[in-house]
Each structure stands twice: as structure tokens, then as C-alpha cells.
Amino acid sequence: MSAAEIHYIDTPHPVTGVTNSKLAIWAFLASEVMLFGGLFSAYILLRVGAVSWPHGSELLNVPLATVNTMILITSSVTMVMAWASLMMKQLGRFRIYMSATILLSLGFLVIKSFEYAAKFEHHHFPSTDNFYGIYFTLTGLHGLHIIGGVFVNLYLLLVSGSAWKENPRKFTGRIEAAGLYWHFVDLVWIFLFPALYLL
């Protein structure tokens, strides 16, 4: 099936009011909400049922996590600016903001790797206890989502010239879909940070 036969890839469907890519990303994010919702529920049940539960602020590096939180919030802003640049038909500015988003994402991963290395150095692993089991599961899965987002954003950056030239509206829709995913990943961290590090 050729691209010309696929309808509503760059115009909204009359029934849903959104393009196929936006509908697909919302459906995918709904499944992600269920995934992380199940893990957060497990965390709550384990914590409520535990006789004693350590405070994250005593075991985890809160300053590093705070820096990472600011990095992710900033990356959400640069992602919005990348999309807005395309809406204003400024491909060069899009590339700057998308590059910034990718660099901020890599910065988050580097800081998280230092945090993990410190835990492993002190012999804290997922098998150590329930706290570290939940900590590594939630932050590790979140980290995998960050890596996935980096690959997608890097691909979109690399093909931006040809994709923009071929169909600007379609490419802008793809960036919007990638942005929705990225904002979800950031939102998950906004919940993870206080739940694990502060409470």
C-alpha cells in the first residue's frame, strides 16, 4: 500500500478529529499509563504493607535527582519549541531545539548512570530489598523510555531535511506525536521523583 492510499496521515479524521499518528500515540500512551500505573500500585501496596520502609531521602541522592528533574522539565520546553518552530516554518530553529532536547536527554542518562554506579559500588542491587527492587524497576524502565525517546528524536532530526521538503505538515505531525510521548516520559518522572526520593 502506497503512502498516497493511506488517508488522514496529515489531515484530521472527520470522526476522531485527529490524525492517525495522534490517535495512535494516544492509544500507545494509554497502554503506558496502565504499565506504570500497575508498577506504582505495586509500590504503594508494598510500602503500606511493610512493617518499616526506608525514606528515599536517606538512601538516594536527592540533589542529583533534583538536577535531573530540572533537566527533564527543560527538555520538555525545548521539545515544544522544536514543534513550534516547525509551525512557524523555521526548520533551522527546529534543529537547534531538537538537538537541545536530545542533549538534555543524554545528560539525564549520564547523571542517572552515576547514581546507579554509586549504588552498585555500595552493593545495592534490585535483589537487596523491596525498596531497591522498586527503585531499580521504576527508574530503570523510565530510563529505557528515555533511551527510546532519544533514538526517535535523533531519527527525526536526521531525516528532518528530506521529510520537511517532502511533506511539511506530515513531518510536523510526527514531531507533535514524538512530543506527546516525551511529555509523558517527563510526567512519569515528576511522579517518580517525589514518590521514591522525597517520601
Element (H, E) at 126: none
The per-residue pLDDT for range 35-67, each reduced to its tens digit, is 999 999 999 999 998 888 888 888 999 999 999
Which range of residues forms the domain containing residue 184?
Answer: 3-198
Average pLDDT rounded to a whole number, residues 22-31: 93
Report pLDDT for 6.
62
Number of domains in the chain: 1
pLDDT higher than 60, residue 3: no
Report pLDDT for 25.
92
- The domain that contains 150 carries what CATH number? 1.20.120.80
- φ and ψ at residue 17, rounded to 5 degrees: 80, 5
Which ranges of the chain would DSSP assign to H, the alpha helix? 20-49, 56-59, 62-87, 91-121, 130-158, 160-166, 168-192
Report pLDDT for 4.
54
pLDDT band at residue 5 under the 50/70/90 scheme: low
The per-residue pLDDT for range 140-151, each reduced to its tens digit, is 999 999 999 999
Average pLDDT rounded to a whole number, residues 7-34: 84
pLDDT higher than 90, residue 72: yes
